[in-house]
């Protein structure tokens, strides 16, 4: 992959796949808000996360090696070198476990078996080993809140006779290795076939057991029983009571199964959905995760856990290493991340999009920072990480609504901010969102899950040798559909820009996940955004423009001191005063759009980006 030119002196969204019943927007804050003092987590964050740069792989759409039209694990292994050369050294693999695929694998039928469409358990272990040989890590997708209705646990729990509600353990259990396990209370069952769900979604009339069962998402996903915060019905079990702890132990066995085989941790789906009728702030769910981590962390101290939670003051207290800043938009009200990339109710149209990176929006970065900064500081106090994504499997891609130039400026920010960057497969080549009929429970998300586009000179753009009609989803049929091969050959491509940013992050300690972050420029009536990333213990003082400057946090002692990242997504040239902390002879390490240092200022032409060191 070719480097972008470096200069010496100058130059719809669909909500995340989680239940609307429990989903809430990030806390409202204003400039007078007092941030709670978030305590540090009990267990240290794995050191390797400081340098991690993740690539999210949707396995059924990435690379098909056996010609059945569905991506598989050998396909991921075959493309590991591509991912590594791109500049990513870690993977997040969407669910690859046995499933009926009514929710694209988030309806797990067997946590300890790879879905046959993807290969075998041995294939997954081989992927772990190949990644580790390349200095890479692999996170699996853990779905702890629910299973498929076809899971053996649920089938047994649904039996009318309590004596039949047992299963054999998935693996050896020291206390009773061959004894059946009672799963009568593994799910949340009411005590009558005509009982409602006490405000929770439920299903009745589909099993022989005299009771209805609570759902966690789709109809096919019965909720696992982690108890209720305040049981008010005879069938409601207490959080952290015996039945809830039995569910915890079962999930711990799942974690141990894969961690002992080489997995490096988990992205945890719907992590805040465990305890039902939890209080504001999720205290009982937090305590449940604290219990789980108290068991698994001592056994696997280098395992990493990132939560689909979106409220780091809660997820960090629960014990997670990282939380995602996901793209939420409810009733036309955007969260901070949505303000960056998709502030519109018509997500396929450029016109009317008020997101910061839309060149014509006129939007300031200040509203994003108003939401982001308090959450970042909460995460830092807990010694955790708050991660940004380019997109994911639940979010509409930004192409074609944003132009390539707009996405380049956006990636400049997303790939240099604090936390571990997460690059969604295909975003590096500008794969487009396409309105498609639902597939495996994808609904409007389906158009962000289409096959990876490798080579325009090959059948199905290199994804699969299967007939086009047998593909998991159709490839982009347009003649100008972007592909890896074409993007590699074009020096100024989006792919090469992403590669340059990721590899620059690789070699600069000031760009590690936990390096300091302080705003330099964020005017409420302008388009510029500039910030310092600071390594080691250097804490320079500078005049901030629009947002008060904040001290940097600690970073590795041997790191270079400071880097200034600045951008202007708008139509007019703007300027940023160079802070004292950037040094007396600054140079531009990376440039887009002709930025230049002039008389103590950084000149930012329209749609430009710069990294100054």
Which H or E run contains 414? helix 404-414
Closest C-alpha to 13, from 359, 398, 371: 398
**176-209 pLDDT, tens digit each:** 456 899 999 999 999 999 999 999 999 999 999 9
Same domain, 69 and 123: yes
**286-296 pLDDT, tens digit each:** 999 999 999 99
pLDDT tier at 175 (50, 70, 90 boundaries)?
A: very low
For residue 416, is it within any domain? yes
Same domain, 423 and 485: yes
pLDDT at 19 over 80: no
Three-state DSSP class for residue 247: helix
Please give the residue that has the higher pLDDT: either 544 or 164. 164
Same domain, 490 and 553: no
What does the alpha-carbon distance between residue 412 and residue 608 come to, in Å, rounded to a whole number?
Answer: 10
What does the alpha-carbon distance between residue 347 and residue 362 come to, in Å, rounded to a whole number?
Answer: 18
Half-sphere exposure of residue 101: CA atoms within 13 angstroms, side-chain side? 17
What does the alpha-carbon distance between residue 595 and residue 151 come to, in Å, rounded to a whole number?
Answer: 57
What does the alpha-carbon distance between residue 208 and residue 196 come to, in Å, rounded to a whole number?
Answer: 17
Tokens of 363: 């939007």
Across 14-150, the runs of DSSP E, i.e. the strands, are 54-57, 90-93, 97-98, 110-114, 137-142
Residue 400, preceding bond cis, omega within 30 degrees?
yes
**460-489 pLDDT, tens digit each:** 999 999 999 999 999 999 999 999 999 999
* Mean pLDDT across 529-533: 97
pLDDT at 38 over 70: no
Same domain, 395 and 274: yes
Is 520 within 8 Å of 576 (Cβ atoms)? Answer: yes
| DSSP 8-state code for residue 456 | T
For residue 250, is it within any domain? yes
What does the alpha-carbon distance between residue 392 and residue 368 come to, in Å, rounded to a whole number?
Answer: 20
Q: What is the pLDDT of residue 536?
A: 58
Tokens of 108: 């797990």
For residue 293, is it within any domain? yes
For residue 554, is it within any domain? yes
Q: Which percentage of the chain shows pLDDT scores above 90?
A: 83
Is 349 within 8 Å of 401 (Cβ atoms)? Answer: yes
For residue 237, is it within any domain? no
pLDDT at 21 over 60: no
* Mean pLDDT across 414-424: 98
Half-sphere exposure of residue 76: CA atoms within 13 angstroms, side-chain side? 30
Q: What is the pLDDT of residue 303?
A: 98
Same domain, 347 and 442: yes
CATH number at residue 539: 2.60.40.1180
Q: What is the pLDDT of residue 37?
A: 52
Number of H helices and number of E strands within the chain? 12, 24
Among the three residues 506, 525, 557, which one is the final residue of a domain in this structure?
Answer: 506
Closest C-alpha to 494, from 393, 415, 573: 415
Least confident of 35-49, 52-66, 435-449, 472-486: 35-49
Neighbour-count burial of 400, counting CB atoms closer than 10 A to its CB (0-12 exposed, 13-18 middle, 19+ buried) = middle
Number of Cβ atoms within 10 Å of the Cβ of 26: 19
Among the three residues 506, 531, 550, which one is the final residue of a domain in this structure?
Answer: 506
For residue 327, is it within any domain? yes
Number of Cβ atoms within 10 Å of the Cβ of 585: 7
Angle between the N-to-C axes of helices 494-506 and 404-414, in degrees from 0 to 180, rounded to the nearest 10: 10
pLDDT tier at 269 (50, 70, 90 boundaries)?
A: very high
For residue 213, is it within any domain? no
pLDDT at 2 over 80: no
* Mean pLDDT across 403-413: 98
Q: How many domains does the chain have?
A: 2
Q: What is the pLDDT of residue 522?
A: 98
Among the three residues 506, 525, 555, which one is the final residue of a domain in this structure?
Answer: 506
Q: What is the pLDDT of residue 24?
A: 36
Tokens of 369: 């920072």
This prediction's pTM: 0.91
For 593, the domain range is: 515-612
What does the alpha-carbon distance between residue 560 and residue 474 come to, in Å, rounded to a whole number?
Answer: 47
199: left (phi over 0), alpha (psi -120 to 50) or beta: left
Half-sphere exposure of residue 335: CA atoms within 13 angstroms, side-chain side? 21
Same domain, 526 and 449: no
pLDDT at 15 over 70: no
Q: What is the pLDDT of residue 543?
A: 39
* Mean pLDDT across 105-118: 98
What length is written for the chain?
613
Same domain, 458 and 523: no
Question: Which backbone phi and psi does 292 adopt, to 5 degrees?
Answer: -60, -45
| DSSP 8-state code for residue 44 | P
Question: What SS3 string covers 78-111?
Answer: HCHHHHHHHCCCEEEECCCEECCCCCCCCCCCEE
Per the prediction, the chain carries an average pLDDT of: 90
Please give the residue that has the higher pLDDT: either 559 or 477. 477
Q: Which residues lie closer than 8 Å to 609 by C-beta, 6 or more apart?
A: 408, 409, 412, 413, 565, 566, 567, 568, 590, 591, 592, 593, 595
Q: What is the pLDDT of residue 556?
A: 38
For residue 186, is it within any domain? no
Q: What is the pLDDT of residue 39?
A: 64
Closest C-alpha to 419, from 531, 515, 307: 515
CATH number at residue 65: 3.20.20.80
Is 520 within 8 Å of 502 (Cβ atoms)? Answer: no
pLDDT at 458 over 50: yes
Same domain, 350 and 387: yes
pLDDT at 539 over 50: no
Same domain, 445 and 352: yes
pLDDT at 501 over 50: yes
The separation between CA 490 and the C-alpha centre of its own chain, rounded to angstroms, equals 29
Please give the residue that has the higher pLDDT: either 148 or 11. 148
pLDDT at 606 over 80: yes
Q: What is the pLDDT of residue 582?
A: 84
pLDDT tier at 5 (50, 70, 90 boundaries)?
A: very low
Three-state DSSP class for residue 157: helix
pLDDT at 412 over 90: yes
Same domain, 521 and 496: no
* Mean pLDDT across 549-573: 67
Neighbour-count burial of 208, counting CB atoms closer than 10 A to its CB (0-12 exposed, 13-18 middle, 19+ buried) = exposed
What does the alpha-carbon distance between residue 597 and residue 578 come to, in Å, rounded to a whole number?
Answer: 9
Least confident of 250-259, 351-360, 530-539: 530-539
Q: What is the pLDDT of residue 174?
A: 45
Same domain, 527 and 463: no
pLDDT at 170 over 80: no
Closest C-alpha to 26, from 264, 340, 371, 483: 371
pLDDT tier at 9 (50, 70, 90 boundaries)?
A: very low
Closest C-alpha to 250, from 307, 304, 292, 209: 292
Give the residue carrying structure tokens 């100008």.
480
What does the alpha-carbon distance between residue 229 and residue 278 come to, in Å, rounded to a whole number?
Answer: 5
Same domain, 501 and 521: no
Q: What is the pLDDT of residue 331?
A: 85
Is 226 within 8 Å of 273 (Cβ atoms)? Answer: no
**52-69 pLDDT, tens digit each:** 999 999 999 999 999 999
Half-sphere exposure of residue 429: CA atoms within 13 angstroms, side-chain side? 26
pLDDT at 25 over 80: no
């Amino acid at each position: 992959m070719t480097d972008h030119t470096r200069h010496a002196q100058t130059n719809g969204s669909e909500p995340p796949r989680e239940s609307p019943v429990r989903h809430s927007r990030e806390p409202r804050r204003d400039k007078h808000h007092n941030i709670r003092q978030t305590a540090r987590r009990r267990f240290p964050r794995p050191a390797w996360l400081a340098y991690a740069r993740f690539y999210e792989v949707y396995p059924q759409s990435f690379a098909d090696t056996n010609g059945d039209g569905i991506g598989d694990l050998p396909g991921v292994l075959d493309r590991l070198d591509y991912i590594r050369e791109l500049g990513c050294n870690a993977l997040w693999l969407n669910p690859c476990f046995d499933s009926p695929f009514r929710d694209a694998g988030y309806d797990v039928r067997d946590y300890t078996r790879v879905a046959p469409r993807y290969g075998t358990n041995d294939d997954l272990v081989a992927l772990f080993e190949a990644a580790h040989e390349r200095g890479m890590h692999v996170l699996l997708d853990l779905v702890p809140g629910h299973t498929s209705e076809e899971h053996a646990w649920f089938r047994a729990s649904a039996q009318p006779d309590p004596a039949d509600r047992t299963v054999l353990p998935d693996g050896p259990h020291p206390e009773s290795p061959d004894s059946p396990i009672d799963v009568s209370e593994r799910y949340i069952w009411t005590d009558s076939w005509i009982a409602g769900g006490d405000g929770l979604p439920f299903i009745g009339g589909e099993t022989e057991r005299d009771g209805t069962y609570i759902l966690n998402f789709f109809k096919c996903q019965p909720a696992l029983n982690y108890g209720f915060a305040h049981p008010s019905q005879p069938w409601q079990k207490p959080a952290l009571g015996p039945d809830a702890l039995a569910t915890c132990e079962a999930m711990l066995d799942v974690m141990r199964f894969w961690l002992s085989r080489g997995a490096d941790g988990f992205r945890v789906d719907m992590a805040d959905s465990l305890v039902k009728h939890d209080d504001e702030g999720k205290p009982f769910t937090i305590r449940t995760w604290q219990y789980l981590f108290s068991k698994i962390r001592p056994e696997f101290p280098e395992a990493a856990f990132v939560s689909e939670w979106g409220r780091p003051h809660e997820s960090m207290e629960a014990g997670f290493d990282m939380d995602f800043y996901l793209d939420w938009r409810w009733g036309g009200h955007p969260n901070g991340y949505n303000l960056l990339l998709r502030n519109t109710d018509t997500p396929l149209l450029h016109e009317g999009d008020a997101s910061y990176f839309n060149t014509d929006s006129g939007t300031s970065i200040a509203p994003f920072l108003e939401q982001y900064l308090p959450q970042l500081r909460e995460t830092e106090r807990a010694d955790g990480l708050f991660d940004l994504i380019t997109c994911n499997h639940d979010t509409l891609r930004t192409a074609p609504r944003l132009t390539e130039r707009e996405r380049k400026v956006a990636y400049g920010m997303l790939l240099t901010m604090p936390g571990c960057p997460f690059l969604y497969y295909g975003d590096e080549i500008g794969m487009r969102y396409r309105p498609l009929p639902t597939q495996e429970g994808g609904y409007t998300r389906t158009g962000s899950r289409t096959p990876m586009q490798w080579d325009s000179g090959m059948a199905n753009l290199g994804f699969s040798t299967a007939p086009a009609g047998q593909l998991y989803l159709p490839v982009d049929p347009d003649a100008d559909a972007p592909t890896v091969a074409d993007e590699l050959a074009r020096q100024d491509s989006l792919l090469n820009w992403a590669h340059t940013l990721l590899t620059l992050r690789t070699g600069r300690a000031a760009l590690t996940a936990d390096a300091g972050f302080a705003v330099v420029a964020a005017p409420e009536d302008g388009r510029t955004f500039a910030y310092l990333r600071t390594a080691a213990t250097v804490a320079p003082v500078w005049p901030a423009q629009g947002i008060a400057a904040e001290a940097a946090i600690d970073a590795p002692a041997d790191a270079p001191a400071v880097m200034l990242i600045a951008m202007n997504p708008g139509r007019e040239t703007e300027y940023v005063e160079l802070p004292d902390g950037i040094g007396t002879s600054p140079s531009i390490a990376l440039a887009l759009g002709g930025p230049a240092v002039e008389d103590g200022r950084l000149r930012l032409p329209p749609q430009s980006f710069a990294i100054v060191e």
